[in-house]
Amino acid sequence: MSESEFLLPDVGEGLTEAEIVSWKVAPGDEVHVNDVLCEIETAKSLVELPSPFEGVVDRLLVTEGETVEVGAPIIIVGAGASGAAEVVGLDNVIEVDELEVQASTAGAGAEDARAAAAEAPATTLIEREGDEPKPGAVLVGYGSAGHGASRRRSQNRTPAEGRHVPSAADLVPAASATPVIAKPPIRKLAKDLGVDLAAITGTGIAGEITRDDVVRHASQASVFRNIETPEWSDEREERVPVKGMRKQIASAMVRSKFTAPHVSVFVDVDATRTMEFVKRLKESTTFAGVKVSPLLIMAKAMIWAVRRNPSVNATWTDDEIVIHHYVNLGIAAATPRGLIVPNIKEAQSMSLLELAHALEQLTLTARDGKTPPADMQNGTITITNIGVFGMDTGTPILNPGEVGIVALGTIKQKPWVVDGEVRPRYVTTIGGSFDHRVVDGDVVSRFVADVAAIIEEPALLLD
């Protein structure tokens, strides 16, 4: 009997081990090229592993929740209806190491996907017949064999078309008996965000619900949607292993807190004009379909303030201070798997519209758990938007390797003195933490004051 053994690959970040979070297949299931076999959790993200061959699942060699080393066998696929486990030919695959390419090229044609993964090294698997192992084909990323979101390929999709046509596998009956058309990743995103797909009108092909539809619907609800108090567990204690992303976060925070001497400052700001500016941008045809929020103005304010106070945009190396004359702007993002800090590369060169697009894409990718390792490297300064959680202020910990992090608090109406009179104004608190080895109190104060000046009067950005 011919069968193929799939080895856990290194997904492009120097991985030595990973946890099998969930299996998407079971023994007896038929799988095709690019069908998702399982999800694994690395130290930085949640990654889907696609199948590089066709056949029938024979055995799962690893249980959910188990951590295994790279190169260890995790699944065996046996002969399918054709009598053999068919490994895809080189004309129909993409050699790929970073599986996040699969997410970034979803919906693109095979030619575009090849270009996205052209420089990635191949990850090998072993095909065997009986007990004789031998080198086999490469791990498939996202190729012309079809969409890898479900186990069974849609018969309505032609590879050359390069796009997904909704099929019966994507239909989920709604309570109203009207079918909801959504791909499996979109259904997972909706579940994570607590969104009812039946309440959404899809804007995609044939009424298909898109990622933007789900995110837009979720943003209309309060951050604190769940007002129900859960019952106590029957177990008196719960023990959560420290591994994966949580272990990485803990290590980074301890290293930052006890290496860099933090100094923090805070200032209250009248953000009324920023709120008015955001409203005008939302009504502008130029920004139609683009998510606009006070965070966008905050990002621009940070870039403006960095140019006036360049020493806060630096790195301490023990031997020297490296001041960066560019801004890779980090945005602290709370995801279902934990805190990550992806950054927008060369943010100082972006227009306000370009920056809005970049912020939106960063947020969507982080929520999907598809942020590639490269997007979390080489940041120069960070924003943490604690206002979305209803917090007025806080003392953030520096992202390791950076000198400054600024926190934007909630923006809400408060009594404020204007021209000697108390008036209701939109007020926020801007705070930040800085590495006192690099910057002194006067520099820190000037920098935060400059950020506050833009939030108070965004017209200064036009200078």
Tell me the C-alpha distance between 428 and 268, whole Å: 6
Is 412's pLDDT higher than 50? yes
Average pLDDT, the chain: 77
Tokens of 355: 């920056």
pLDDT in tens, 253-306: 888 988 899 999 999 999 999 999 999 999 999 998 888 999 999 999 999 999
Tell me the C-alpha distance between 447 and 458, whole Å: 16
pLDDT of residue 224: 44
| Strand pairing category for 17-23 and 67-69 | antiparallel
Buried b (16+ CB within 10 A) or exposed e, 53-64: bbbbbbebbbee
pLDDT in tens, 181-227: 888 778 877 887 778 888 888 888 878 888 878 877 776 554 444 44
Determine which helix (DSSP H) or strand (DSSP E) holds 267, and give its type and residue range.
strand 262-270
pLDDT of residue 109: 42
Tokens of 352: 């306000």
* Given 32, 147, 324, 436, the catalytic residue: 436
Question: Between the ranges 1-15, 100-114, 182-196, where is the mean pLDDT highest?
Answer: 182-196
pLDDT in tens, 110-155: 444 444 444 443 333 333 444 443 333 333 333 333 333 333 333 3
pLDDT in tens, 167-190: 444 444 444 466 788 887 788 778
Tokens of 181: 């058309």
Determine which helix (DSSP H) or strand (DSSP E) holds 59, and give its type and residue range.
strand 53-60
Domains of the chain (ranges plus CATH)? Answer: 2-160 (2.40.50.100), 166-221 (4.10.320.10), 245-462 (3.30.559.10)
Is 452's pLDDT higher than 70? yes
Q: What angle do CA 173, 176, 181 make, to 5 degrees?
A: 40
Percent of the chain residues past pLDDT 90, beyond the cut: 40
Is 242's pLDDT higher than 70? yes
Q: What is the pTM of this model?
A: 0.57
pLDDT of residue 172: 46
pLDDT in tens, 26-49: 999 999 888 889 988 776 667 788
- CB neighbours of residue 297 within 10 Å: 24
Backbone angles phi and psi of 137, in degrees to 5: -75, 175
**Which residues are within 8 A (CB) of 448 and not within 5 positions of it... i.e. 6 or more apart?**
265, 267, 305, 406, 430, 431, 432
**Which residues are within 8 A (CB) of 337 and not within 5 positions of it... i.e. 6 or more apart?**
41, 45, 46, 244, 245, 369
When comparing pLDDT for 225 and 410, which is higher? 410
436 part of the active site: yes
